[in-house]
Amino acid sequence: MNGLDTKYDSIKKLWTKLSGETDRMYKQIQDTHPKANDTNSNFDTGIFNQYMDAFIDEVNDLTKS
């Protein structure tokens, strides 16, 4: 990603955020193994979903050009 031209800066920034959030969630899963039907779980994918949606929108906009 870092090798991309500056015209892709918005995609690179979103990718950095998305990648960081993926790493955060992965670490959380490794540190606290999920349990089926655990109603006390605090695993939240909201920010990840926001970053993923924004990244997909940027990629789609790029392919329209």
Average pLDDT value over all residues in the chain? 92
Q: Which residue has the tokens 């929108």?
A: 57
pTM of the model: 0.82
pLDDT above 90 coverage of the chain, percent: 63
| CB 44, CB 3: distance < 8 Å | no
3 confidence band (pLDDT: 50, 70, 90): confident
Structure tokens at 30: 């490794």
Provide mean pLDDT across the span 17-31: 96
Report the amino acid identity of residue 19: S
- Hey, what's the torsion of the CAs at 50, 55, 57, 61, to 10 degrees? 160
Output the pLDDT for position 65: 64
Helices (H), the chain: 9-31, 46-64
Q: Report pLDDT for 27.
A: 96
